[in-house]
Amino acid sequence: MKLSISRDAALPAAFVAAVTRIFIDLALDGGPVHNGVWIAALLGALPVLPYLVCLDMVGVGKCRYATVGRLLAGLLLAATALDGARIVSVVLRASGFLVLDPVSPFMLVLPVVLAALWCTCRNGDAIGYAAMLWRRAFPALMLVVMILQWRHYRPQWLRPWLGNGWGEIAGEAIRTAGCYVPATSVLLICRHDDETGKRPFTVAWIALASAVASLLLVFRLMMTPSGTNDMAWITRLDALLTNGRAPLYLQLPMIVAFFVGLMHLLACECFAAAALLQRLIPRLNGRVCAGIVILICAVLPFVRSFRSMLDRAMPWLFIAAALPVALAALSQFHFNGGKRSCES
């Protein structure tokens, strides 16, 4: 089985993954939420645009030197698989909190891992088209959330606008850019065979993704005052899902949105990592690649200090990925006399 995805499907998959990844990172995983995060979500998109252009230039089959292509695929594979493991750990903690019963972590991880394996084996188009469907359903669901909780949002809590200042916003913007790396690695492996023949516009894509993530963060900030959310991960999750003050029964659509978004993110990253692994070792069957990647994603969350190690690496992720991609794209451009190698 060959793992592949059309660009038509890869763009919505990456969109949903990027928005969810940014939101989870800034509103939940990255420590206390400060008022400037929504600005960081917007600013973080700026360095990603040239990164995506470079990624497009060195995509599958376009790289002039096979070794360079393999190195890049290996780098993105590592980043994506590790991020997949991080998402599994988020799912593990969130589901443990929500399922309430004392269920063993293994039993909580097993179904999501099986679901991710099943989805990866359905191949990229299924994941991408499901993300496209979710991209259409999500605004309707968020509209329901907002209507239900409208009276409980406090716009005054958005102030001070800059939170702890530009320094922190810059740091979070770099984190945001790092979120795009695993979420968009699926774009490296996509096929350009759209039936419509139209090439989707990357600037519009990234502007929309960052705007949606930023908007969601604005609503998150209106839920609880930033001074009171310097607290544990599980309490932040509770505040995110319950709003703190709205009646508990209004949580339902938010929980559905949260979990389904997480599963889309996990499926997209697992698929991308498995497909990158297959690019590196073409003899491997797609199902075997999916199995290996998902095994890594399932086991790593149980490794002690895995999360703290990833937390430390997160701010550097973008730089670590963007530099080699940019160098590869530049070398491609230089050696080819200003033309793209395989398209010329």
Partner 1 sequence: MEIDRVEMLRAALTPSLDENVSRFKTLLSSDTNVDAQFRFINCAETRLCVIYIEGMADDRKISDFILRACVNLPPAPGRRVDAAYLMEDVLEIAQCEAEHRVSELLNSVVTGMTAVLIDGCDEAVLLETRGYPARPVNRTTNESVVIGAQEGFVESLRTNMTLMRRYVPAAGLITECITVGTVVPTHVTLVYLRGVADEGVVEAVRKRLKGIDAKTVQGLGAIQQHIEDQPWALLPQMLQTERPDRAASCVMDGQVVVLADNSPYALIGPITLFHQLHASDDSFSRWQYGTFLRLIRIIGMLVSVFLPGLYIALTDYHMHLLPLSLLGSIAEARANVPFPILVEIMIMEFSFYLINEAGTRIPQQIGSALGIVGALILGQAAVSASIISPILIIIVALTGLGNYAIPDYGFGIGLVICRLFVIACSAAFGLYGFCMAAFVLSVSVCGMKSFGFAYVAPIAPRRPHNPDLLLRLPIWLQRRPMYFAARAHRARGQGG
In the complex, what is the shortest distance from the CB of residue 130 to partner 1, in angstroms, rounded to a whole number? Answer: 4
Phi first, then psi, for residue 165 (nearest 5°) are 105, 175
Interface characters, 33-72, with partner 1 (x: CB under 8 A): ----------------------------------------
* Cβ distance to partner 1 smaller for residue 78 or 132: 132
Q: Among 20, 89, 123, 185, which residue sits at the site for partner 1 (rule: CB under 8 A)?
A: 123
Burial (Cβ within 10 Å: 0-12, 13-18, ≥19) of residue 24: buried
Runs of H (alpha helix) within the chain: 7-24, 37-43, 45-57, 66-99, 105-121, 124-149, 166-184, 202-221, 233-242, 252-280, 286-299, 306-335
In the complex, what is the shortest distance from the CB of residue 259 to partner 1, in angstroms, rounded to a whole number? Answer: 4
* Cβ distance to partner 1 smaller for residue 175 or 264: 264
Angle, vertex CA 290, rays to CA 318 and CA 70, nearest 5: 50
Q: Among 20, 35, 80, 95, which residue sits at the site for partner 1 (rule: CB under 8 A)?
A: 95
Establish if 264 lies at the interface with partner 1 (CB under 8 A): yes
Q: With CB under 8 A as the rule, give the number of residues binding partner 1.
A: 43
d(CA 336, CA 70): 19
Establish if 99 lies at the interface with partner 1 (CB under 8 A): yes
Q: Among 156, 249, 305, 338, which residue sits at the site for partner 1 (rule: CB under 8 A)?
A: 249
Instruction: Decide: helix, strand or coil at residue 196.
Output: coil
Q: What is the dihedral of CA 18, 24, 30, 35, to 10 degrees?
A: 90
d(CA 237, CA 46): 28
**CB–CB of 275/289 below 8 Å?**
yes
| Residue with token string 């968009």 | 184
Establish if 196 lies at the interface with partner 1 (CB under 8 A): yes
In the complex, what is the shortest distance from the CB of residue 22 to partner 1, in angstroms, rounded to a whole number? Answer: 20
d(CA 119, CA 14): 15
Establish if 134 lies at the interface with partner 1 (CB under 8 A): yes
CA atoms 25, 29, 30, 32: torsion sign: positive
In the complex, what is the shortest distance from the CB of residue 223 to partner 1, in angstroms, rounded to a whole number? Answer: 17
Q: Among 118, 201, 316, 335, which residue sits at the site for partner 1 (rule: CB under 8 A)?
A: 118
In the complex, what is the shortest distance from the CB of residue 67 to partner 1, in angstroms, rounded to a whole number? Answer: 34
Q: Give the interface segment with partner 1, choosing from 40-48, 91-99, 149-157, 307-315 (CB under 8 A).
A: 91-99
Return residues touching partner 1 (CB under 8 A): 6, 8-9, 12, 94-95, 98-101, 103, 108, 111-112, 115, 118-119, 122-123, 125-130, 132-134, 136, 195-196, 247-249, 251-252, 255-256, 259-260, 263-264, 267
